[in-house]
Amino acid sequence: METTLRGVGVSHGVAIGEVRHMGTAVLEPPARQITADEAEREQGRARQAVSAVAADLIARGQLAGGEAQHVLEAQAMIAEDPELMADVDRRIAVGSTAERGVYDAFAAYRDLLAGAGEYMAGRVADLDDVRNRIVARLLGVPMPGVPDSDEPYVLIARDLAPADTALLDPALVLGFVTEEGGPTSHSAILARALGVPAIVALPGAGEIAEGTVIAVDGSTGDLFVEPTAEKKAELAAAAAERKAALAASSGPGATSDGHKVPLLANVGGPADVPAAVEAGAEGVGLFRTEFLFLDDSKKAPSEEKQIESYRKVLEAFPEGRVVVRVLDAGADKPLDFLTPADEPNPALGVRGLRSLLDHPDVLRTQLTALAKAAEGLPVYLEVMAPMVADRIDAKAFADACREAGLKAKFGAMVEIPSAALRARSILQEVEFLSLGTNDLAQYAFAADRQVGAVSRLQDPWQPALLDLIAMSADAARAEGKSCGVCGEAASDPLLACVLTGLGVTSLSMGAASIPYVRATLAKYTLAQCERAAAAARASDSAEEARVAAQAVLSGE
């Protein structure tokens, strides 16, 4: 009998197939005591296992490329963290086996993260995955991960680690469903990059029996258990209609009456550029430069290395717009040379622009590298600061850009509610705003983006979030300046229409979402988008806002 479950749709498309469950996690190793003579050997085993897992994660990243590579390289850094390894050595020295020492050291670090505020707690899933891989290697058992199957299937898991998501084979994994996670979790972002239909934050999905046929609609978040033939046909027809619309859509982003809405790509480095170009991106709306810095947490990359990386991205968009976000370190992206190690709540501490202003040499080097990378190129370079709280922050950043001789537009990200509330004041110092809706929602609702239990509050359709976006867009319009969106909200085609109606002047997203957004925008006039935006803001919940906007655009 057909039943319907609903989670959070995070990656467009429809998948119909049999359920396969993720491999079980590694069991807790036994607490066996070793002798003093065995300690050195066990420490060697632990180090070898850690090195092997780190190398495997890096190799997986190189195979996957793009944003997945950056995420997996960050995981490899977790595996080889010196403090963690020192703790492992200490535990082995007092009698633990290698596997038990690793397990207990990671457990202690896990407790620290879980108690360091919800933002840091979001890294726990990544930490658990690294621990499981090391312990599995030490125990000589298969790695936890994606099941082996010769036939295509829909994967169900409690959560998916980046190492698993990055190497999903779309030819076999038709789609996936997780019980935890949120719309801006690593798995959701990588699913969109892969173009695999996905639903997250669906409690109870793990109880669906192996082999059961399900249908996953990654656009709506609906999961149909044992769908009828009629439902399968309905979903297939909807998928075919979307595919046809995508094929017919090309060129710059615009509404049906010609109102231009540039569609830009979010990239983490040169490896992400080919997909952006193929999708028809009109430029880059968010170049996340922190991934270049995560290659070595001990020191910043040289000016020469930065110039090389930046220039590759700038060259890909001749006469296009490339918006670069300077280093956004801290919180879930700590760097030893930049971020404090003892902050009680890093998400509310020294991160983003705050870190850079405390280390002006790092900011100066990056701005100088950007200036040199753009020399002689016809690209329209724009540089923005993360985590701007007020006009004082905006002025400090603009002054630093001028001192570095940067010939570019200077902008500020709106990720803190105070920046939206005082957007017009901030615009006295900078030339554009860019809304990071992921962090803006996180701070507006006190809801961590990695925690499935609060995913309702991370929904970008929340009317309060739409209010903050509207305030920012109104301020930019009043000042004759631009206000774009570079958060994951822009990847939702229906919400993209609402954002356009709110006055947002450009939309930036993962490359895979650009064709969907382009095709949907082209179906409606600016006036329709404005009416849909008004209806969404007049609602009292995210679901009501979505339904109200859809009703307006459908002419109901």
DSSP E strand boundaries for 218-292 = 222-225, 263-267, 283-288
Q: Active-site residues: which are they?
A: 186, 486
Per-position DSSP letters for 32-60, written without gaps between them: ----HHHHHHHHHHHHHHHHHHHHHHHHH
CA-to-CA distance for 286 and 57, rounded, in angstroms? Answer: 25
Partner residues linked to 288 by β-bridges: 325
Q: Dihedral, CA atoms, 360, 116, 296, 450, nearest 10 degrees?
A: -110
CB within 8 A of 118, min separation 6: which ones? 347, 446, 447, 448, 450, 451, 454
Q: Dihedral, CA atoms, 22, 28, 30, 35, nearest 10 degrees?
A: 110
Partner residues linked to 411 by β-bridges: 384, 432
Q: What are phi and psi of 333, to 5 degrees?
A: -130, 60
CB within 8 A of 274, min separation 6: which ones? none
CA-to-CA distance for 246 and 266, rounded, in angstroms? Answer: 20
Does residue 521 contact residue 249 with C-beta atoms inside 8 Å? no
The owner of tokens 């202003």 is 357
Per-position DSSP letters for 421-444, written without gaps between them: HTHHHHTTT-SEEEE-HHHHHHHH
Partner residues linked to 287 by β-bridges: 267, 324
Residue 537 belongs to what H/E stretch? Answer: helix 526-537
CA-to-CA distance for 110 and 84, rounded, in angstroms? Answer: 11
CA-to-CA distance for 534 and 466, rounded, in angstroms? Answer: 10
DSSP β-ladder status, 222-225 and 3-6:
antiparallel
The number of helix segments (H) and strand segments (E) in the chain equals 24, 16
The owner of tokens 């990239």 is 267
CA-to-CA distance for 508 and 285, rounded, in angstroms? Answer: 5
CA-to-CA distance for 177 and 552, rounded, in angstroms? Answer: 30
CB-hemisphere CA count at 13 Å for 401? 26
CA-to-CA distance for 167 and 4, rounded, in angstroms? Answer: 29
CB-hemisphere CA count at 13 Å for 299? 4
For residue 319, the SS3 value is: coil
DSSP E strand boundaries for 91-172 = 153-157
Does residue 274 contact residue 50 with C-beta atoms inside 8 Å? no
Cα angle 453, 455, 457; round to 5:
115
